[in-house]
Amino acid sequence: VDELSSRLARVVGPDQVITDRAVLAGYETDWTGRFAGRARLVVRPADRDEVAGVLLVCRDARVAVVPQGGNTGLVGGGVPRDGEVVLSLRRLDRLGPVDPIAGQVTVGAGATLAAVRRHAAAAGLDFGVDLAARESATIGGMVNTNAGGIRVLRWGSMRAQVVGAEAVLTDGRVLRRLAGLPKDSTGYDLVGTLVGSEGTLAVLTAVRLRLVPRPRRQVTATLAVADTVAAQRVLASVRAGVPGLTSAEIFYADGLRIVCDTQSIAPPFRTSYTTYLLVDFGAEDDPTPALAAALASRDDVLDSAIATDEAARRTLWAHRDGHTEAVNTLGVPLKLDVGVPAPALAEFEHELRAIVEVAGARLVLFGHLAEGNFHANVIGAHDPDTLTDAVMRAVARYGGTISAEHGVGVAKARWLPLVRSPVELELMAATKRAWDPDGLLNPGVLLPR
């Protein structure tokens, strides 16, 4: 046992310092298998004070620290690169009491999204963000990436849910602002700075979250359309004409086929169509009649499957939610989570498909239509960097974002200057120096080296 492990063991207890290579493996590789590196060790503190103790030991030993939540990240931001200490936040999973008056709750950074949603549901409320990795993704990681998911059009991304936070600086000092005051007009938003900071500024230990009402009636519909532009037109009409639009997801024939084949489930229709739009609504009164009326007058909806009961809704969602796992059966995918303004989406899609085709690779495309957020999953790219470069440049040309919801991580750090100006990059670097002067937290992530 080396000096560092024994010092950390004095903080968290010997059982919570992991050096066994077989156990480390689960913390060293990301979900896709694309990003992996060796950890010096994994340390699993139980609470904020232990997090502070761990950081002080690491600072003293000048060892870099990679904070990690549920390890569902897709850009290499939560796995070690080169002998760092992995600081797992998973044991900080406390769920505070729901405050029904403010409609808020304070949870530990290691609480999973699913646990928070169940906890809110028990109080008759819900959490505004949802995504397919809900059983493993932790709130801390979701704040750190400003995660989005499938309900951003209704309730916004993580940024819109965070009303307070507690975080530990590398020198052990604690920033604590958990009152969740809905009105607070007092200067720089330091809590907001932590949203999307990808573990580079401080270690988040608790978050105060805004909760949302649980709609009484829900309806899900999968609509077959000719292409992305048709899907956008249908989305515009249901957005205006049907109350409670919560999700608008797009996928295509190829992806649906892989999902159905690998998961042995039936497709939504007997006929195969090129493009599918999944829309989900939640409202006080049943949105189905309004939905039926909005669809009746449209000849660009080629087929529709509508579900109101829970099991049937889940069946429709499985076609969309299953994409990530289905793609992984084809090999290690190159994942490009990008977004472009709605008017440019179809033209960008065209260019994206051409880039991947010229590279001789296979594209599985799906995403969140309302935000113009495409998940380009590329399999069999011989030169991933050149392909990524072409896609990132196209995104920038259309005025889009190189990361819509997964973060920058190590995957996209070198392309950040495409979408952030020199003045923004300088302010970001100065922010990093102010919070983490020794550069101990998540080196190589987010900011270009």
The two tokens of residue 223 are 């609509």
CB of 129 to ligand 2HG, least distance (A): 12
Among 146, 377, 403, 442, binds ligand 2HG (CB under 6 A): 377
Would strands 104-108 and 125-127 be described as parallel, antiparallel, or unpaired?
Answer: unpaired
Site for ligand 2HG in 394-413 (CB under 6 A): 405
Site for ligand 2HG in 100-139 (CB under 6 A): 131-132
Nearer to ligand 2HG, 68 or 403 (CB): 403
Which is nearer to ligand 2HG, 319 or 335 (by Cβ)?
335
Residue 213 CA to residue 222 CA, distance in Å, equals 24
Pick between residue 119 and residue 323 the one whose CB is nearest to ligand 2HG.
323
318-322: Cβ within 8 A, 24+ apart: 318/259, 318/263, 318/265, 319/222, 319/251, 319/256, 319/259, 319/260, 319/265, 319/267, 319/268, 319/276, 319/278, 320/150, 320/249, 320/251, 320/278, 320/366, 321/132, 322/259, 322/262, 322/263, 322/265
The correct pick among 222, 246, 324, 403 for binding ligand 2HG (CB under 6 A) is 324
Query: By rule CB under 6 A, what count of residues binds ligand 2HG?
Result: 7
Minimum distance from residue 36 beta carbon to ligand 2HG (Å): 18
Q: Which is nearer to ligand 2HG, 31 or 415 (CB)?
A: 31
Name the residue with tokens 């309004």: 290
In angstroms, what CA-CA distances link 352 with 164, 378, 387, 439, 442? 39, 11, 10, 36, 31
Angle between the N-to-C axes of helices 253-263 and 310-321, in degrees from 0 to 180, rounded to the nearest 10: 110
The minimum distance between CB 333 and ligand 2HG, in angstroms, equals 7
Q: Which is nearer to ligand 2HG, 90 or 335 (CB)?
A: 335
CB of 422 to ligand 2HG, least distance (A): 30
Alpha-carbon distance of 374 to 352, in angstroms, equals 10
* C-beta closer to ligand 2HG: residue 103 or 149: 149
Q: Is 332 in the site for ligand 2HG (CB under 6 A)?
A: no
Indicate which single residue of 335, 392, 403, 408 sits in contact with ligand 2HG (rule: CB under 6 A): 335
**CA 141: distance to chain centroid?**
8
Q: Give whole-number Cα distances, 17 to 78, 92, 162, in Å.
A: 18, 15, 31
Q: Which of 40, 44, 90, 375 binds ligand 2HG (CB under 6 A)?
A: 375
Closer residue to ligand 2HG (CB): 11 or 370 = 370
CB of 189 to ligand 2HG, least distance (A): 26
Q: Which residues bind ligand 2HG (CB under 6 A)?
A: 131-132, 324, 335, 375, 377, 405
